[in-house]
Amino acid sequence: MRPSKDESYLNLAEQVALRSTCIRRNYGAVIVKEDEVLATGYGGPPRKTINCDKIGFCYRDRLGVRKGEHYEFCRAVHAEQNAIIQARRLDMLGATLYLVGLDAITKERQLDAEPCRICRRLIVNAGIERVIIGVSKDKTKTHLVKKWVRNSLWEFQKVKGQLIPILPPLSLCEPIDEERRTRLISRFALADAIVVQTNSFENRKQTVGRAAARFFVTNVKSGSSVALSCGDTILSLIESLSYQSHLRLNIHQLSVEGDPATIHQAPATLVGLLRGKCSPQSRVYGLQLPPLDMSSLSAKIREELAGSPFLSKLRKKVLSSDYVFIGVGSVDRSSASFWAMAQAAVGGNFTHYVKKLNIVGEINNQVFDDVGTDRTKEVPALSKYMVNVSSLSDIRSMAGNYPRHKIVMVASGPEKTRAMRVALEAGFANVLISGRDDADRLLNS
């Protein structure tokens, strides 16, 4: 069958892309006006400099930079830029730019191929009228450049009658330690690990939180279901997220709690905060219990909730989640929030249970011993403050079903090393996000 003109020029752009030397993506661009090819371009470093495929690594990969960010660290001149600088602006007025992006390894067309924001500015100033992108062999998408101009090069979403810009999520580019990442994956049979440098105790949680936020925006897609545990590292993750108004998520909580002292990091609070960072059309399923000092009401609600259809439905939603973000805590005074709650629950003698049951850590206020056995039911007083939606056995089962479920452990700190090691060896997570010092302690323990 004879291809259309658009298909012909996109096929040409694809052939041009094969000349690209980028080891992440291969892009090719063709500028056409009145059926005349004005210029072609592909991505690669400036003339007479060493090609990236000869160097063997990408500096932006080494820095852990996401797609679409920090092109000042990129050696390449983009395909669109190379095509534009080879043609006169007078010739390009009203022209069409055809663009194809290929995976550097498989050479398949990429569904998310788009001009970066720098290239969009050049396309506008070149006078080009349309950009046609070949996202697959039988599918294209077209951008009218005048719409970019009207929106000042930003994408907007209408919320309650107002246009709100969809801002690109920015990271602070803490470098990812590839050597430690590889060793952690091998040691604990993980699907992935992110290891970042933490410079001080004060910024440790913030740095790991930013790394977790970077993982979130890179991997979590619109339509995904996300479940959250309690904890300050999960709170730091959400605080580090920029406004992701394009993400429409289903958000669930791993437990239902009622301790006023920790309400800022309780799952009900965290799922609400996450929804505030995403599309208003995201759905949250969960609730917060009344505080313990409302004893009669609190006990009655807990008893009714434990056997209610609501809890059963929430549990099914949690167990079907695509992503589960969990924190890990120690069970001593260094974990102030959990320690205070546990002490209050058992009448000030939680140390007795720690020694008797060999408890070393907790996930979502559920405790486990030095071989990863769930001991929560043997400390029944803990249920005064919460109703568990899913058990540690549920979490372990989900973690064993990768890539259907991504159980992401976000944790850092010397006081958590033993708990983290046992949790990883017990299979409570298949992705780890932590600091370089944490990785060293885990690998040497």
pLDDT in single tens digits along all 445 residues of the chain: 888 999 999 999 999 999 999 988 899 999 999 999 999 999 999 999 999 888 877 777 666 666 677 787 788 999 999 999 999 999 999 999 999 999 888 899 988 889 988 899 999 999 999 999 998 888 899 999 998 887 665 555 566 666 665 555 444 445 678 899 999 999 999 999 999 887 655 467 878 888 898 889 889 989 999 999 888 889 889 988 877 877 899 999 887 766 666 666 778 888 889 998 888 889 988 776 665 554 444 556 666 666 677 778 888 999 999 999 999 989 887 777 777 778 877 778 888 888 999 999 999 889 999 999 999 888 877 766 677 788 899 999 999 999 999 999 999 989 999 999 999 999 999 999 999 999 999 999 7
Question: For position 416, what pLDDT does the model report?
Answer: 92
Q: Write the DSSP symbol of residue 430.
A: S
Q: Measured between alpha carbons, how far is 38 from 43 in angstroms, rounded to an integer?
A: 17
The CA-based angle 210-211-215, given to 5 degrees, is 115
Q: What is the pLDDT of residue 78?
A: 96
pLDDT on residue 170: 46
Please identify which of the residues 14, 36, 69, 80 carries the catalytic annotation.
Answer: 80
Residue 80 among the catalytic residues? yes
Place of tokens 């219990």: 289
DSSP 370: T
pLDDT at 268: 80
With 0.85 as the threshold, say if the pTM is over it: no
Rounded to whole angstroms, how far apart are CA atoms 322 and 213?
A: 16
Contact 391, 324 (CB under 8 A): no
Contacts for 299 with CB less than 8 Å, ≥ 6 apart: none
pLDDT of residue 441: 94
Run of H or E residues at 369: strand 366-369
Q: How far apart are CA 203 and CA 208, in angstroms?
A: 9
